[in-house]
């Protein structure tokens, strides 16, 4: 029996539904990716003491609780007067970064080895029952072990920095509640093979080479699958470097022109708005200055490598230069290149983990900083899937009176819809049934964005996919349920 | 009692999973905690207890050193209070996003990566509500108590 959560049919949560409307000539007239977003958490947190938020928000998600934990803590840093992300003590900021890079490393490794590599190594049209890490284990056991151990290494970094695996308490308003012991540090630096950071860097490089080799051999497919122009948004460090933990908000248009020029995310609501569409519970964020129609944007690995100017670690920077050269320095709009970008970030995360482990500041005991209390704060972080916003207001009794969260998958709502539309037009025009190949293509397009619905739904991350093909009169022509 | 376990028990892992912040979804974790208390009280040395939000691929490595693995989880399946079932690798299923995997997937992966298949069982306990609340519902608590008593006896039986 499978892990049971809330079935989509009974709770209408946590499932993706694709509808493809055809006209009388079997041309695609409309496609929609429906993702049901559960907004109950923002109401739930109201009235709770603000200092509980970094732990409470982990109830949202069993997939990336660290991202919510840190985004909430960053917002509360502002409220307790510790500044806006760069005002913490050295050990405070660096421990949080270590936790975050551990999360990024394990999440990206999971995505590559569990979701992407089966498609690459076994073929997009291979048996779906084996197109997963078990299939990889059968044909490429060494690679599957790498995936398992990379994921495990990242999880252990999280446990060491957050204090425990579930409902970690490492980040608190104004800092952290523990530093890294010498024993913990040495376990990651000098652990028995393969559980040490040098092996993780080596494997990250190997995974990157694996993708590049695949792309070279399958250039036509990889470079032409779900390609569409987009704006891109992410945090960048103030000097333009890739920074997954803290920075300013930058957005570029399809040609790379800055359309949001390194602004303070405390004022994100000036620049970003959310559109409600009648057919979807999930909102559609957009840049206010450009408007609803053209102001939508992509977040995540592809976006981050489109917005940043450089990567501040040597091996990832070298990979970044090669990646950027491929598009002549222009923004990359190829959905499957998301995997390439994700693996460069995996390498960067591993390099950052090594740098941080060797930093003696992590053994400092100056854990917390506080100043003049404020009534409002915003925390933004680059979660594995993209930019994550947490915004809180509190009253005189220290109770939260308002919470607003914009999660990464919501930010990617429009681009995921565009990707589905691209695939439907290319593969389903003139067809009357959903073939296995079509279904795979829709899944591949959505999966490239690594959507996680647990933020909006239940803890498990279970996500069945329904695809419905409808005629001009809304009659179902064909139906697929995973 | 303690000496009996010290001498005879198989190397066992009890692994609870679920989100303890989502009401009855915590049932798997709570059962694992109850068993941990019992292990401590009885001074049993060969049973480990672990927890997580959900199972994932690294758990294939985690279980690979054990002879007996008992996963514990919440369920909304039709049942009176709890079910105890053996898990086989052949029942492995996949989800669209693969952000979490099933117990059968974990042991199947363990078998393929390490050539080991620990004897594996799943205790699934009936849950009723899954809101943003730390406490179990009253009925879930009753089910937890029954499952706890059952599992203590079952472990004695399995490890004889």
SS3 state at B76: coil
3-state DSSP percent of chain A in helix, strand and coil, to 5: 45, 20, 35
Give residue A247's pLDDT.
97
Q: How many CB atoms lie within 10 A of CB A25?
A: 9
List alpha helices for chain B, DSSP H.
2-8, 27-41, 59-63, 103-114, 138-158
Of residues A59, A137, A462, nearest to B112 (C-beta): A137
Do β-strands A272-275 and A284-287 pair in parallel, antiparallel, or remain unpaired? antiparallel
- Report the distance separating Cα A218 and Cα A212, nearest Å: 10
Q: Which residues on A lie below 8 Å from B109 (Cβ)?
A: 133-134, 137, 144, 148
- Contact criterion met (CB < 8 Å) for A128 and B20: no
Which residues lie below 8 Å from residue A442, measured CB to CB, with a gap of 6+?
A18, A420, A423, A424, A465, A467
- Report the distance separating Cα A182 and Cα A357, nearest Å: 10
pLDDT tens per residue, chain A (482 residues)? 222 222 222 222 345 678 888 888 889 898 888 776 555 677 778 899 999 999 888 776 666 789 999 999 999 999 999 987 678 999 999 999 999 999 999 999 988 888 788 877 887 777 777 777 788 888 888 889 999 999 999 999 999 999 877 778 899 999 999 999 999 999 999 999 999 999 999 999 999 999 999 999 999 999 999 999 999 999 999 999 999 999 999 999 999 999 999 999 999 999 999 888 777 767 889 999 999 999 999 999 999 999 999 999 999 999 999 999 999 999 999 999 999 999 999 999 999 999 999 999 999 999 999 899 999 999 999 999 999 999 999 999 999 999 998 988 889 989 999 999 999 899 888 888 888 778 778 878 888 888 776 553 333 334 456 777 788 887 888 877 65
Give residue A1's pLDDT.
28
Closest chain B residue to the Cα of A155, Cα to Cα: B58
- Report how far apart, in Å, the C-alpha atoms of A210 and of each of A83, A152, A342 are: 42, 21, 13
Angle at CA B89, nearest 5°, toward B125 and A16?
A: 65
- Contact criterion met (CB < 8 Å) for B97 and A44: no
C-beta of residue A41 within 8 angstroms of C-beta of residue A59:
yes
Q: Which residues on A lie below 8 Å from B77 (Cβ)?
A: 1, 4
Sign of CA dihedral A436, A438, A444, A446: negative
Give residue A281's pLDDT.
67
Q: Which residues on A lie below 8 Å from B60 (Cβ)?
A: 148
Question: A234 - beta bridge partners?
Answer: A250
Closest chain B residue to the Cα of A449, Cα to Cα: B97
- Report the distance separating Cα A149 and Cα A154, nearest Å: 9
Residue the block writes with tokens 């308002």: A402
Q: How many CB atoms lie within 10 A of CB A69?
A: 31
* Torsions phi, psi for B16 (to 5 deg): -95, 140
Interface pTM, i.e. ipTM: 0.80
Do β-strands A258-263 and A248-252 pair in parallel, antiparallel, or remain unpaired? antiparallel
- Report the distance separating Cα A31 and Cα A420, nearest Å: 7
Task: Say whether residue B95 is in contact with chain A using an 8 A CB cutoff.
Answer: yes
- Report the distance separating Cα B123 and Cα B87, nearest Å: 10
Give residue A49's pLDDT.
95
List alpha helices for B42-88, DSSP H.
59-63
Q: Which residues on B lie below 8 Å from A5 (Cβ)?
A: 25, 76, 130
- Contact criterion met (CB < 8 Å) for A129 and B94: yes
Provide the whole-model pTM: 0.89
CA-CA-CA-CA dihedral for A368, A373, A375, A376, to nearest 10: -40
First to last CA, chain A: 17
Residue ranges per structural domain of chain B: 10-158
Give residue A32's pLDDT.
84
Of residues A4, A65, A152, nearest to B53 (C-beta): A65
Of the listed ranges A400-409, B33-42, B86-95, the one predicted with least confidence? B86-95
- Contact criterion met (CB < 8 Å) for B113 and A137: yes
Give residue B110's pLDDT.
94
Q: How many CB atoms lie within 10 A of CB A431?
A: 17
- Report the distance separating Cα A335 and Cα A333, nearest Å: 6
Q: Which CATH number fits domain B10-158: 3.40.50.1820, 3.40.50.1450, 3.40.190.290, 3.40.50.1370?
A: 3.40.50.1450
Do β-strands A16-22 and A28-35 pair in parallel, antiparallel, or remain unpaired? antiparallel
- Give the distance from residue A461's alpha carbon to the nearest chain B alpha carbon, in angstroms: 6
- For B149-153, what is the mean pLDDT? 95
Residue the block writes with tokens 């997009």: A124
């Amino acid at each position: 029996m499978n892990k049971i959560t809330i079935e989509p049919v009974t709770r209408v949560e946590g499932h993706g539904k694709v509808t493809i409307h055809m006209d009388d000539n079997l041309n695609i007239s409309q496609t929609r990716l429906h993702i049901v977003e559960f907004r109950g958490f923002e109401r739930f947190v109201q009235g709770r003491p603000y200092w509980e938020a970094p732990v409470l928000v982990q109830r949202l998600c069993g997939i990336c609780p660290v991202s919510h934990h840190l985004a909430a803590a960053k917002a509360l840093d502002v409220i307790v007067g510790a500044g806006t992300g760069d005002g913490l003590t050295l050990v405070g900021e660096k421990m949080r970064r270590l936790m975050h890079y551990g999360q990024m490393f394990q999440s990206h490794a999971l995505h590559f080895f569990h979701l992407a590599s089966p498609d690459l190594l076994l073929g997009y049209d291979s048996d779906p029952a084996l197109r997963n890490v078990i299939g990889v284990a059968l044909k490429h056991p060494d690679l599957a072990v790498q995936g398992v151990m990379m994921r495990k290494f990242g999880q252990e970094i999280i446990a060491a920095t957050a204090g425990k695996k579930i409902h970690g308490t490492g980040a608190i308003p104004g800092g952290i509640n523990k530093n890294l012991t010498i024993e913990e540090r040495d376990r990651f630096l000098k652990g028995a093979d393969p559980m040490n950071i040098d092996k993780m860097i080596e494997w990250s490089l190997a995974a990157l080479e694996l993708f590049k080799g695949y792309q070279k051999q399958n250039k036509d497919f990889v470079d032409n699958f779900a390609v569409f122009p987009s704006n891109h948004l992410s945090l960048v460090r103030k000097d333009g470097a890739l920074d997954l933990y803290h920075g300013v908000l930058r957005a570029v248009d399809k040609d790379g022109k800055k359309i949001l020029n390194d602004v303070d995310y405390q004022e994100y609501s000036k620049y970003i708005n959310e559109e409600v569409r009648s057919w979807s519970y999930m909102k559609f964020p957009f840049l206010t200055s450009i408007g609803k129609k053209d102001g939508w944007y992509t977040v995540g690995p592809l976006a981050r490598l489109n917005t940043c100017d450089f990567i501040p670690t040597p091996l990832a920077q070298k990979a970044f230069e090669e990646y950027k050269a491929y598009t002549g320095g222009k923004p990359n709009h190829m959905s499957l290149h998301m995997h390439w970008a994700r693996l460069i970030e995996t390498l960067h995360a591993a390099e950052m983990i090594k740098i941080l482990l060797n930093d003696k500041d992590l053994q400092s005991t100056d854990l917390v900083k506080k100043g003049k209390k404020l009534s409002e704060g915003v925390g933004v972080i680059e979660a594995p899937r993209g930019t994550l916003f947490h915004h809180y207001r509190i009253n005189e009794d220290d109770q939260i009176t308002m919470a607003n969260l914009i999660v990464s998958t919501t930010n990617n709502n429009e681009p995921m819809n565009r990707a589905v539309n691209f695939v439907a037009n290319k593969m389903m025009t003139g067809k009357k049934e959903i073939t296995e190949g079509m279904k795979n293509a829709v899944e591949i397009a959505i999966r490239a964005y690594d959507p996680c619905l647990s933020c909006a739904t239940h803890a498990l991350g279970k996500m069945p996919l329904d695809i419905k093909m409808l005629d001009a009169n809304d009659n179902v022509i064909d139906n697929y349920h995973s | 009692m303690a000496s009996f376990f010290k001498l005879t028990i198989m190397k066992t892992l009890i692994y609870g999973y679920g989100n303890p912040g989502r009401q009855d979804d915590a049932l798997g974790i709570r059962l694992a905690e109850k068993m941990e208390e019992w292990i401590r009280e009885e001074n049993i040395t060969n049973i480990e207890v672990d927890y997580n939000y959900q199972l994932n691929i690294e758990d294939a490595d985690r279980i690979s050193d054990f002879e007996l693995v008992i996963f514990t989880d919440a369920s909304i399946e039709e049942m009176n209070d709890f079910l105890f079932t053996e898990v086989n690798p052949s029942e492995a299923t996949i989800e669209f996003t693969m952000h979490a995997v099933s117990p059968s997937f974990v042991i199947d992966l363990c078998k393929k990566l390490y050539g080991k298949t620990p004897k594996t069982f799943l205790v699934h306990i009936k849950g009723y509500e899954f809101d943003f609340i730390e406490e179990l519902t009253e009925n879930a608590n009753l089910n937890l108590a029954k499952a706890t008593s059952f599992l203590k006896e079952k472990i004695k039986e399995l490890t004889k």
